[in-house]
Amino acid sequence: MADTNIPALRVLVYSSDVDTRQQVMRALGKRPSPELPPLEYVEVATGPVVIAQLDAGGIDLAILDGEAAPTGGMGVAKQLKDEIADCPPILVLTGRADDAWLANWSRAEAAVSHPIDPFQLTEAVVGLLRDTQAA
């Protein structure tokens, strides 16, 4: 039986493509690691809403689609890192593995390329959340 007293970790998932958001959430599931609390998702389809959500606080991790249109996730990541003092970790979804340098430019802590590999995504997300929980 799950412990309902454990507060969920809030994960923002940004993409202008609903299918991409669904792929991310399906790949991670409700509890990607037994050592972490369950996840609660905040789905976002536009860049300005991402910024508003992170400004409001309470987000433990942001997953931003670098291929989102018209506002790409890497530009949003850079803006968040520049403007939010206590910005949570950010994972960007890149168009291809060769775009990892762009993720580095955006100051995201991790990058996973399209097509989304559930194992690679889960490993990156669990690592970022584990580091956040340990801090």
Specify whether the CB–CB gap between 37 and 67 falls below 8 A.
no
Q: Residue 3: inside a domain, yes or no?
A: no
In sequence order, which residues have a C-beta less than 8 Å from that of residue 25 and are 6 or more positions away? Answer: 13, 41, 43
Q: Quick one: pLDDT at residue 47?
A: 96
Q: In what order do the strands lie in the sheet with 90-94?
A: 39-44, 9-14, 61-65, 90-94, 110-113
Specify whether the CB–CB gap between 112 and 120 falls below 8 A.
yes
Q: Residue 2: inside a domain, yes or no?
A: no
Q: Residue 4: inside a domain, yes or no?
A: no
Number of domains in the chain: 1
Domain housing 87: 9-134
Nearest to 114 by CA among 56, 59, 73, 55: 73
Q: Quick one: pLDDT at residue 59?
A: 97
Q: Residue 110: inside a domain, yes or no?
A: yes
**CATH no. for residue 102?**
3.40.50.2300
Could you read off the pLDDT of 50-81 as tens digits, one per residue? 999 999 999 999 999 999 999 999 999 999 99
Could you read off the pLDDT of 75-124 as tens digits, one per residue? 999 999 999 989 999 999 998 878 878 888 899 999 999 999 999 999 99
DSSP 8-class letter at 97: G
Could you read off the pLDDT of 2-37 as tens digits, one per residue? 555 789 999 999 999 999 999 999 999 999 999 999
